[in-house]
Amino acid sequence: MAKITIDNITIDVPDGTTILQAARKIGGKVVPPAMCYYSKLKGSGGKCRTCLVKVAQSCTKDPRPMPKLVASCSTPVQDGMVVQNLTSPEVIDARKGIVEFLLLNHPLDCPVCDQAGECDLQDLSFGFGMEETATVEERREFPMTDIGEYIKLHINRCILCYRCVYTASQLTDQRLLGVLYRGDVSEIGTFIKNSIANDFSGNMIDVCPVGALTDKTFRFKSRVWFLKPMNAHRECARCSGKVAAWMSGNEIYRITGRKDEFGELEEFICNECRFEKKDLYDWIIEGPRHIKKKSVISANHYEKMEKPSVISPIEEKMLPPDQL
């Protein structure tokens, strides 16, 4: 076990734990943001630098600070390590620089982007972004492409975090998606414009931290803050069938996987559940999902269970007449 102190909070964690995982055990504001690390995807992390922290003391045996800020998602803890996240002005400064860097090519099209309201980069910009950019260069521009029947790829918004690449290669046995070319011409693409047609490709949409991969069955249908996310499930032969159903009244606008407090999917869901089951009768609605208070989606969001009225007439018909 190793004892680690992050922003003045001390915790014991097993050896081999990364600083980010230790911070997640503590929770709250101590947790550094992560745009590329994804605990369920092997090899993820180390690409975006948003999780940089300051190691003020390396370990008990060597109390010297580490000379540079380190990526918390890929740095293992050591016994006696002291880490600063929000308590270090150097980290705050670096994070502002990272946001500016990520926005060098990312368009500021949140008003028309389907990811708005649940975008990690939007949240990060809100916390650490500057009012003005220092750059005058034009942003990179790519045509929009379709990846298979259900997914739209908008490379202009991509921050090259590789999450979708790992999802595509780790959930199936074929490697179909990758980063093509190098340097400032790098782009996410399918090999010679192959489309991705496998049962779990829709999960790439959920792992994308920005709006580069969007659900064609939901694009421009509504804004997420007008919808109510409900836990729902169905019998499914391919996945657990446990999803979040985004509803307005009795209508299901979109289906996504259920995300945990760190924005990661609890379970990957299949394309049939995600794209083809939009009828209320397809699902058993369990109740409203918990939404963080600071999220824009929490506006007018009540967590009291309200069964959709379409379900109740069947039950009402089955009640004995004296109870009707």
Question: Where does this chain bind ligand SF4 (CB under 6 A)?
Answer: 158-164, 188, 207-210, 212-213
Tell me which residues in 45-64 interact with ligand FES (CB under 6 A): 45-51
Sign of CA dihedral 19, 294, 269, 162: negative
Query: At closest approach, how far in Å is the CB of 59 from ligand SF4?
Result: 33
CB of 283 to ligand SF4, least distance (A): 27
Indicate which of ligand FES, ligand SF4, none lies near residue 147 (CB less than 5 to 8 Å, by partner kind): none
* C-beta closer to ligand FES: residue 34 or 205: 34
Beta carbon nearer to ligand SF4, 9 or 160: 160
Q: Residue 43, SS3?
A: coil
**With respect to ligand SF4, which residue has the nearer C-beta, 30 or 213?**
213
Distance CA 171, CA 321 (A): 51
Which of 64-70's residues contact partners 24+ apart within 8 Å by CB, and which partners?
Answer: 69/94, 70/19
Contact predicate 179/144, CB 8 Å: no
Residue 163 or 289: the one with the smaller Cβ distance to ligand SF4 is: 163
Site for ligand FES in 56-115 (CB under 6 A): 71, 73
Choose among ligand SF4, ligand FES, none what residue 82 binds, the Cβ cut-off being 5 to 8 Å by kind: none
The conformational region for residue 150 under phi > 0 = left, psi -120 to 50 = alpha, else beta, is alpha
Select the residue interacting with ligand FES from 4, 23, 34, 297 (CB under 6 A): 34
Q: Is 263 exposed, middle or buried (0-12, 13-18, 19+ CB in 10 A)?
A: middle
